[in-house]
Structure 1
Amino acid sequence: MAYRTKTYIAGDWDGDKDAIEQLYKWKESKYLSLDFIDAHDLHQARDTSLNCSIKKSLSQRLNVSKRFVLVVGEKTKDLRSGGCQLCSSYNRWTRACARGHHVDYRSYVEYECEKAKSDGLAIVVLYNSTRVDRDKCPDCIKWSGKHVAMQYYKNGKYYWDYQAVKEL
């Protein structure tokens, strides 16, 4: 039996790369105490894998996680990557997988959120913004867990809000 000891970080790795990288900077800092063991350090599927293979890999990483962190940005709720309808093995006429796999129309982020919630993981939603905007959060976890803005605005500048994130 695997123990759940890791933190799983999800989000739009393209659109919110800056916020995700900031989490890792805080983790690696000698002066700050944000600490997590990233589930993504485990085996990952190759970028050329089928969407269902990637979801299997995501599932394995979520299975050893105790905390699910979702970074929400402008496009997170609208991400579609990961849905079978976007896979080359998906037959649009039969709505089936040509390789015989189960068809799943959810994006990777939707899949991760739903699995985290069904597994009862501690859910933390970090907004790559100065405010919490639940309309940008996937519906599945819109009202679950703790939600906090990762930034604040002061004297005409934006700053990363380490204290707000650390308190979670």
Structure 2
Amino acid sequence: MKYRTKTYIAGDWTGDEDAVEQLYKWNDSNYWSLSFTDAHDLTQARDGSLNCSIKVSLRKRLEASKTFVLIVGKNTRTVRSGSCQYCNSYNSWTASCARGYSVDNRSYIEYECDNAVRDSLKIIVLYNAATIDKTKCPDAVKNTGTHAAMCCWKDGKLYWDYYAVKDAMG
């Protein structure tokens, strides 16, 4: 029997890097009590890997996870990275993989969300904003799990909202 003990962090790592970094700061801090064991410490695919190889690596991390955290930003729903159509091995004329793999045109984020739902992981959706806007959320997790804003307004300034994130993550 495989035990799921990790927390899987997903999101647009280029567009929402600040939110991802903030989660790790809270997790690594001696002051804040946010605590999770990151599934991304398990395996890493090389940057030159095929999209399908990267998805195999993602799948291994998801299989070790009990909690799935998706950070939603302005481009999360529309990001296409990970789709086979953007791989050098994809033949657009035949809509097939030149290496013989099956074609999967889901983005990495769509793939991660679909698998988290399929595996019945605890789902937490954190918005890199002061409001929850489900129109920016991938369909697979739009109406499931706990949704929370990562930021709040105070004195006319936008701040990270540790307590909202801590409550959402349980």
What is the distance in 1 between the residues matched to 2:156 and 2:93? Answer: 54
Structure 1 partner of 2:88:
88
Q: What is the rounded CA distance, in whole Å, between the counterparts of 1:104 and 1:93 in structure 2? A: 16
Q: What is the letter of the counterpart of residue 74 of structure 1?
A: K
In the TM superposition, what whole-angstrom CA distance separates every residue of 1:76-95 from its partner, at most 9, and x where no partner exists? 00010000000000011111
Q: How far is 1:10 from its partner?
A: 0.3
* Aligned position for 1:37: 37
CA distance in 2, matches of 1:5, 1:140: 22
Match of 2:162 in 1: 162
What whole-Å deviation, never above 9, does each CA across 1:11-36 have from its counterpart, x for those lacking one? 01010000000000101111110000
SS at match of 2:94: coil
1:143 counterpart residue number: 143
Residue of structure 1 equivalent to 2:20: 20
Corresponding position of 1:50: 50
The whole-number CA distance in structure 2 between the counterparts of 1:6 and 1:43 is 13
The whole-number CA distance in structure 2 between the counterparts of 1:87 and 1:19 is: 28
Q: Does the residue aligned with 1:152 lie in a helix, a strand or coil? A: strand
**Residues of 2 paired with 1:22 and 1:102: CA distance?**
36
List alignment gaps of at least 5 residues for structure 1.
Answer: none
Query: SS of the residue aligned with 1:76?
Result: coil
Aligned length: 168
Taking structure 2 as the reference length, the TM-score comes to 0.98
- Identical residues among aligned pairs (%): 64
Over aligned residue pairs, what C-alpha RMSD do you find? 0.6
**Any runs of at least 4 consecutive aligned residues in structure 1 with deviations exceeding 6 A, and if so which?**
none
Equivalent residue letter for 2:142: K
Gaps of at least 5 residues in structure 2 are: none
2: CA distance between counterparts of 1:88 and 1:29?
Answer: 41
Q: What is the deviation of 1:2?
A: 2.4
Establish whether residue 109 from structure 1 lines up as the match of residue 109 from structure 2.
yes
Which whole-Å CA distance do the structure 1 matches of 2:97 and 2:67 have between them? Answer: 32
